[in-house]
Amino acid sequence: MSDRPIIAVVDYGMGNRRSVQKALEHVGPQAAITRDHDELRAADGLVVPGVGAFPLGMAHLNELGLAELIIARAAEETPIIGICLGMQLLLERSEELEPAEGLGLIPGAVTRIDSGGLRIPHIGWNEVRFERSSPLTERLPGNGAPFYHVHSYAGRPSDERDVIASTEYGERFATIVARGTVFGVQFHPEKSSRHGLEMLRNFAAICMDTRAGTATAAARG
């Protein structure tokens, strides 16, 4: 068994998959872009990237049989992180363009940002405030850090305990969410310099720790 986790970037035809793969490889894990179900089932962790509209993203996931696979892997407590649109797809539903159902891994909805007159889409660096501790934010500044955002809609978890961090652009909204081993970030860690890379390194560590725990449990029978 490799001493590096294997992380699969889910290829459903949307998002900057290659830049996510390169960023992951830079911080240590083996990373592959794939839509092959066997590879996705064998990976130690999954990344759901994404740029674009929620209904189209879900349509692609469903057509490729990937939505069901991601839900099944989450049920197995496989670490999963959604990035940008990928984070939004983790929630139950969205109002973007038309009502659409999401993966339902984190209770809540996706609605348009109330920007208070600021330009939409929200593009650029925004200070992220950490609301509660999480293994995803280990070794990052305790009060928060800037990350690069590109979006017009935001996830609204039903349970505030699922909100790890927030940011403000006209209004304050969730920008890091988590429930169990399912994580989501509204920003692009692969474009967010050293803090973004540190977050991806943390995710790789979560994958490695989960693999070690699974192996120990199997050995105990």
- Please give the structure tokens belonging to residue 201: 């390194």
Active-site residue, 84 included: yes
Closest CA to 184 of 42, 86, 108: 86
Length of the chain: 221
Alpha carbons 68 and 54: distance in angstroms, whole number: 17
Closest CA to 29 of 200, 216, 220: 200
- Verdict on whether the full-model pTM lies above 0.85: yes
Helix (H) or strand (E) holding 30: strand 30-34
Residue 173's SS3 state is: strand
- Residue located via tokens 């889409």: 121
Q: Where are the alpha helices (DSSP H) in 50-155?
A: 54-63, 66-75, 85-89
Cis-peptide, bond into residue 121, ω within 30° of zero? yes
pLDDT tens string for the chain (221 positions)? 568 899 999 999 988 899 999 999 999 999 999 999 999 999 999 999 988 999 999 999 999 999 999 999 999 999 999 999 999 999 999 999 999 999 999 999 999 999 999 999 999 999 999 999 999 999 999 889 999 999 999 999 999 999 999 999 999 999 999 999 999 999 999 999 999 999 999 999 999 998 776 654 444 45
Give the tens place of pLDDT for each residue, 9-34: 999 998 889 999 999 999 999 999 99
Burial code (b: 16+ CB inside 10 Å, e: under 16) for 44-62 equals bbbbbbbbebbbbbbebbe
Alpha carbons 179 and 79: distance in angstroms, whole number: 10
**Residue of 60, 96, 151, 190 with catalytic role:** 190
**Residue of 60, 149, 151, 188 with catalytic role:** 188
Active-site residue, 26 included: no
**Residue of 84, 151, 195, 198 with catalytic role:** 84
Alpha carbons 172 and 131: distance in angstroms, whole number: 12
Alpha carbons 81 and 196: distance in angstroms, whole number: 13
